[in-house]
């Protein structure tokens, strides 16, 4: 294909005719195709709202022009494609000088699109792309049901490291290791007289292991 | 600590059964000495919850209950939002400590009157903003205060749940919930009083974590997922704090449930409170179910399907809990409650600005919000 025939959304906005293709690669995203197909099949009823998450570490951030006039148009295009109705309003709340914004779009049929576009994550973090589509009778998403990356615990990151944390109490703020927290809780339970005294099942457990290893 | 003697005025709020089923049996912090509700069915449910407490009295009239319980130290206001104001005023006149379900009131004038009425009140007033007691959110507040994340650039916070309206139908009545009947947009047949009214937490949490106030908001509301609801089930909000931090909030009922009279989830996670804070030095993300379990149980409330549930937390001090904090304040063991009347009302101000934004289709200033013309004089305007 002739590269001159494929233009960016910004360039396409200044051209007319059909002698070129506007570059909207997210239309080929398998997730988008699936949502579109299931909408057409009436699998989950009628679409009502879409939530887009586009996150990148700083080291993968695009130029500001690309961020605003390529990435954001890509997402708005698939929102429009999925809503299957014209865009009626767009509001953008952007962090000055940073590739970080929240956008709210409404379409003529009452579908709302919420966009989180953040290319300011610490460099230790991976990129994530999610869509959550809410319908009258169901949902469709690649978003993890639990946790930021479908991992247990919370995420604390800077450019050098990303830690997954388990926070049982904010006073125990060295809260990375769930099993270490179990030890600490056990000591507290012993102090409070809540942990049963004696050997418990130790003899039977040790004997069973020894026999199993023979 | 002696348990405080508390009466419950109204059980219409979906959280009240949790208190009656849990704290009602635990008499270490609070003893529920009486419950009132005009609704016979709800009162019967309260009787069932408290059947192990034979001394508890039950009334169909909350004023009659207050007259009959002179030994009450505190009141839990658990009625429909519309009745909170009258109960609150009566509680103040009787010098009771007050534990109010959220929201205190969605009426700006009522909120102002309550603040004036309680300016020098020497009793405890705690508004139920329960996310303050979740360690992962407390940790976020510590990180921000310590400067670990640097200067905060943006905050993303969802409070997305299923709709409780199938099993608490009163929650879907715009007048009972919002206090008056106001269309979400001019001419709309969906009204204020739904998901946004039910979810003050994100607005409170962002103030609490950052120490900054909302400056302005812009909001949109999609067509309802649930055609039978009279109140909104979706709203998404962007905004800016007074220090320039950009925020995104989604407090919707976007997780579907079965349309039956009991709580039965379709989407496997009842609640998403996904907090993401981006700062110049770091990033923190957490969720309500940050320590999760998956359960499939024949006798689960949502039977025979995969459900995401949470696990417990370590309580190091009695005031690490909602009722423990309130009781400690009442007993003078703690200076002030974790979430005050002013906190509750500050969240309401942002929520009303968001409703105005949907109505007017433009950005609304939170501080300079004037009483709009379409709200004046509306009380029973259905």
| pLDDT, tens digit (0-9, with 9 covering 90-100), for B348-365 | 999 999 999 999 999 999
Residue of chain B whose Cα is closest to the Cα of A104: B220
Cα three-residue angle B157-B163-B169, rounded to 5 degrees:
140
- B:189-208 residues touching chain A, CB 8 A cutoff: none
Q: Is A136 exposed, middle or buried (0-12, 13-18, 19+ CB in 10 A)?
A: middle
Report the SS3 class of residue B321: coil
- The pTM score is 0.93
CATH number of A3-165: 3.30.360.10
- A:63-122 residues touching chain B, CB 8 A cutoff: 89, 91, 93-96, 98, 100-106, 109-112, 114, 116, 118, 120-122
Domain extents in chain A: 3-165, 178-213
Half-sphere exposure of B138 (CA within 13 A, CB side): 20
Alpha-carbon Rg for chain B in angstroms: 20
Q: What is the pLDDT of residue B28?
A: 78
Do B314 and A181 make contact, defined as CB atoms within 8 angstroms?
yes
Q: What is the pLDDT of residue B378?
A: 47
Token pair recorded at residue B145: 């205060």
Q: What is the pLDDT of residue B380?
A: 37
- Widest pairwise Cα distance in chain B: 58
Where in the sequence of chain B do the CATH 3.40.50.720 domains occur? Answer: 4-123
Chain B CB within 8 Å of residue A154 CB: yes
Q: What is the pLDDT of residue B23?
A: 62
Show pLDDT as tens, one digit a residue, over chain B (382 residues).
788 999 999 999 999 998 998 765 566 788 999 999 999 999 999 999 999 888 899 999 999 999 999 999 999 999 999 999 999 999 999 999 999 999 999 999 999 999 999 999 999 999 999 999 999 999 999 999 999 999 999 999 999 999 999 999 999 999 999 999 999 999 999 999 999 999 999 999 999 999 999 999 999 999 999 999 999 999 999 999 999 999 999 999 999 999 999 999 999 999 999 999 999 999 999 999 888 889 999 999 999 999 999 887 888 877 788 898 999 999 999 999 999 999 999 999 999 999 999 999 999 999 754 555 566 544 433 2
CATH number of B4-123: 3.40.50.720
Residue of chain A whose Cα is closest to the Cα of B357: A91
B97-100 and B74-77 beta bridge pairing: parallel
Plot region of B261 (φ>0 → left; ψ -120 to 50 → alpha; else → beta): alpha
CA distance B287 to chain A (A): 6
Do A93 and B254 make contact, defined as CB atoms within 8 angstroms?
no
Across the interface, of A106, A158, A166, the residue whose CB is closest to B291 is A166
**Among B214, B283, B308, B310, the residue to mutate for chain A (most A Cβ within 10 A):** B283
Do A89 and B220 make contact, defined as CB atoms within 8 angstroms?
yes
Q: What is the pLDDT of residue A175?
A: 67
Give dist(CA B260, CA B228) in Å, integer.
Answer: 13
Q: Is B278 exposed, middle or buried (0-12, 13-18, 19+ CB in 10 A)?
A: buried
Plot region of B10 (φ>0 → left; ψ -120 to 50 → alpha; else → beta): left
Q: What is the pLDDT of residue A2?
A: 57
Length of chain A: 214
Q: What is the pLDDT of residue B292?
A: 86
Do B135 and A167 make contact, defined as CB atoms within 8 angstroms?
yes
Q: Is A118 exposed, middle or buried (0-12, 13-18, 19+ CB in 10 A)?
A: buried
Give dist(CA B358, CA B186) in Å, integer.
Answer: 10
Q: What is the pLDDT of residue B382?
A: 27
Where in the sequence of chain B do the CATH 3.30.360.10 domains occur? Answer: 132-336+342-375
Across the interface, of B248, B256, B274, the residue whose CB is closest to A102 is B248
Do B236 and A114 make contact, defined as CB atoms within 8 angstroms?
yes
CA distance B284 to chain A (A): 5
What is the fold of B132-336+342-375? Dihydrodipicolinate Reductase; domain 2 (3.30.360)
Residues 6+ apart with CB under 8 A from B65: B7, B9, B34, B35, B36, B57, B59
Length of chain B: 382
Crossing angle (nearest 10°) for helices A72-83 and A30-40:
20
Residue ranges, chain A, pLDDT below 70? 1-4, 147-152, 173-176
CB atoms inside a 10 Å sphere around CB B380: 7
């Amino acid at each position: 294909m002739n590269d001159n025939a494929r233009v960016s959304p910004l360039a396409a906005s200044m051209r007319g005719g059909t002698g070129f293709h506007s570059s909207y690669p997210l239309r080929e995203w398998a997730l988008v195709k699936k949502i579109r197909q299931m909408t057409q099949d009436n699998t989950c009823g009628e679409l009502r709202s879409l939530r887009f998450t586009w996150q990148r570490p700083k080291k993968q951030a695009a130029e500001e022009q690309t961020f605003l006039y390529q990435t954001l148009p890509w997402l708005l295009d698939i929102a429009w494609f999925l809503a299957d109705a014209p865009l009626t309003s767009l509001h953008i709340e952007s962090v000055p000088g940073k590739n970080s914004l929240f956008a709210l779009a409404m379409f003529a049929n009452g579908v709302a699109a919420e966009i989180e576009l953040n290319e300011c994550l610490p460099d230790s973090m991976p990129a994530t792309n999610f869509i959550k589509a809410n319908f009258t009778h169901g949902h469709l998403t690649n978003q993890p049901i639990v946790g930021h990356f479908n991992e247990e615990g919370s995420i604390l990151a800077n450019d050098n490291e990303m830690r997954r944390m388990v926070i049982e109490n904010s006073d125990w703020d060295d809260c990375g290791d769930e099993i270490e927290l179990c030890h600490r809780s056990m000591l507290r339970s012993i102090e409070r007289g809540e942990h049963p005294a004696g050997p418990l099942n130790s003899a039977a457990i040790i004997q069973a292991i020894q026999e199993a290893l023979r | 600590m002696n348990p405080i003697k508390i009466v419950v005025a109204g059980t219409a709020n979906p959280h009240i059964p949790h208190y009656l089923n849990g704290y009602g049996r635990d008499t270490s912090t609070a003893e529920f000495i009486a419950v009132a509700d005009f609704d016979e069915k709800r009162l019967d449910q309260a009787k069932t919850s408290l059947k192990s407490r034979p001394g508890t009295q039950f009334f169909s009239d909350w004023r009659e209950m207050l007259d009959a319980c002179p030994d009450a130290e505190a009141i839990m206001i658990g009625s429909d939002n519309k009745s909170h104001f009258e109960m609150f005023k009566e509680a103040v006149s009787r010098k009771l400590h007050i534990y109010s379900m959220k929201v205190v009131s969605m009426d700006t004038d009522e909120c102002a009157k309550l603040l004036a009425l309680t300016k020098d009140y020497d009793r405890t007033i705690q508004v139920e903003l329960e996310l303050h007691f979740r360690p992962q959110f407390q940790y976020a507040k510590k990180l921000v205060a310590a400067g670990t994340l640097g200067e905060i650039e943006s905050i993303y916070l969802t409070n997305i749940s299923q709709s409780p309206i199938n099993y608490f139908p009163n929650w879907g009545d715009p007048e009972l919930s919002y206090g008056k009947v106001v269309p979400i947009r001019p001419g709309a047949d969906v009204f204020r009083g739904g998901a946004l009214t039910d979810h003050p937490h994100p607005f409170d949490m962002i103030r609490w974590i950052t120490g900054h106030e909302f400056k302005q908001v812009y909001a949109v509301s999609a067509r309802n997922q649930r055609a039978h609801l009279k109140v909104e089930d979706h709203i998404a909000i962007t905004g800016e704090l007074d220090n320039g931090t950009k925020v995104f909030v989604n407090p919707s009922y976007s997780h579907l449930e079965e349309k039956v009279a009991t709580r039965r989830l379709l989407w496997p996670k009842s609640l998403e409170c996904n907090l993401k804070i981006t700062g110049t030095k770091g990033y923190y993300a957490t969720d309500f179910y940050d320590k999760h379990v998956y359960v499939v149980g024949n006798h689960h409330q949502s039977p025979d399907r995969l459900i995401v549930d949470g696990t417990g937390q370590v309580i190091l001090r009695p005031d690490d809990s909602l009722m423990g904090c309130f009781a400690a304040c009442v007993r003078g063991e703690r200076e002030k409650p974790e979430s005050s009347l002013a906190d509750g009302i500050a969240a309401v101000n942002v929520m009303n600005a968001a409703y105005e934004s949907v109505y007017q289709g433009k950005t609304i200033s939170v501080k300079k919000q004037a009483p709009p013309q379409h709200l004046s004089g509306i009380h029973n305007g259905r």
